[in-house]
Amino acid sequence: MALWQSLLVESVNVAFGHRLWWVDAFTGEAERGNPAVVVLLERSMPDDELQQIAFELGVSETAFVRRVGDLWSLRWFTPTVEVELCGHATLASLHVLLNELGVPGAEIYFQTRAGVLSGRRMGDGLLGIDLPRWNLEEVDPLMLNGTLGPVNEVYRAGEQGVLAVVEDFDTLCGLAVDSMNLFLVPSSMVIAACVGGPNVDVSIRVFAPRLGLAEDSVTGSAMCAVAPWWIQRVGEPTVSVHQASARGGVMFARLFEQSVEVAGMARTFFGGDLRA
């Protein structure tokens, strides 16, 4: 007889909640990357519960993954909203499936709000994910309302983003951005970029106050705009990028006709069970 039976306890709940992992994505030698929590769902959950979990976890993005046939359903939530695309949480999810769960196969496919995305192992410990390529349309710098100071070029990037090119790395690092003023810019994501940086082709900072993020630590989806801009500027389909945030991050991108392959390193910080 089990101990709980001998004590006249009617039952013991031995069911665990959904498993989760805190993963730092796009890390480097001196860069800590961007944290994402990846939650493996054993069953579907209402959207409001997913949003509440993301709010409680409090990282820039929480990724919810669930096996659906031959694909993995993948959704991304900031603490305040669900988003259409998130690069670092996709890389974190790929890391969990390959390195924590040992999912087999040369390619992993994710069903997302941005369409079917794929990921894979690459050389030297890198993981690669395919994200959609964004079209660039040059626009009047006045749309930024002076929030980034003097800028050389400004582009509408896809449906959600703006890419602004500043003079140099020192200018980029010295930007003091007012989130309330930036909130008035008609864009979910504002990417400030410059040529050069610490051992890279391009450096960036990314601001997304409309998504509840004053400044993002490392932004894989920014490569959807940076890679097309780089090939337009220098004719090269590959680009290395440093994100000059407090945590810092390193990304590599390769441009294709319809997509951008974004590569980087990831590491698990901790794992556990979500009692939800």
**Tens of pLDDT, residues 14-39:** 344 689 999 999 999 989 999 999 99
The tens digit of pLDDT for each residue in 182-221 reads 888 888 999 999 999 999 999 999 999 888 889 999 999 9
Task: Determine, yes or no, domain membership for 115.
Answer: yes
Q: Same structural domain for residues 39 and 123?
A: yes
Q: Same structural domain for residues 24 and 39?
A: yes
Q: Same structural domain for residues 178 and 252?
A: yes
Task: Determine, yes or no, domain membership for 122.
Answer: yes
Q: Same structural domain for residues 223 and 159?
A: yes
Q: What pLDDT sits at residue 184?
A: 86
Cα separation of 103 and 271, whole Å? 17
Per-residue CA distances from 242 to 79, 104, 105, 159, 172 (Å): 25, 31, 30, 24, 12
Residues in Cβ contact with 238 at an 8 Å cutoff, skipping those fewer than 6 apart: 252, 253, 254, 255
Number of domains in the chain: 2
> Phi-psi bin for 249: left (phi > 0), alpha (psi -120 to 50), beta?
beta
Task: Determine, yes or no, domain membership for 252.
Answer: yes
The tens digit of pLDDT for each residue in 92-102 reads 999 999 999 99
Strands 115-121 and 238-243: unpaired
Residue 2 has pLDDT above 60, yes or no: no
Task: Determine, yes or no, domain membership for 6.
Answer: no
Q: Same structural domain for residues 181 and 88?
A: no
Q: What pLDDT sits at residue 181?
A: 87
Catalytic residues: 61
Average pLDDT over residues 169-183: 91
Expressed as residue numbers, the domain containing 126 is: 18-132+264-274
Q: Same structural domain for residues 112 and 194?
A: no
Q: Same structural domain for residues 158 and 94?
A: no
Q: Same structural domain for residues 252 and 268?
A: no
- Cross-strand pairs, 215: none
Q: Same structural domain for residues 106 and 175?
A: no
Cα separation of 123 and 198, whole Å? 22
Task: Determine, yes or no, domain membership for 240.
Answer: yes
Q: Same structural domain for residues 97 and 157?
A: no
Residue 209 belongs to domain with CATH number = 3.10.310.10
Q: What pLDDT sits at residue 253?
A: 98
Q: Secondary structure of the chain in the HEC alphabet?
A: CCHHHHCCCCCCCCCCCEEEEEEEEEECCCCCCEEEEEEECCCCCCHHHHHHHHHHHCCCEEEEEEEECCEEEEEEECCCCEECCCHHHHHHHHHHHHHHCCCCCCCEEEEECCEEEEEEECHHHCEEEEEECCCEEECCHHHHCCCCCCCCEEEEECCCEEEEECCCHHHHHCCCCCHHHHHCCCCCEEEEEEECCCCCCEEEEEEEHHHCEEEECCCHHHHHHHHHHHHHHHCCCEEEEEECCCCCEEEEEEECCCEEEEEEEEEEEEEEEECC
- Cross-strand pairs, 205: 192
Give the global pTM.
Answer: 0.90
Task: Determine, yes or no, domain membership for 4.
Answer: no
Task: Determine, yes or no, domain membership for 2.
Answer: no
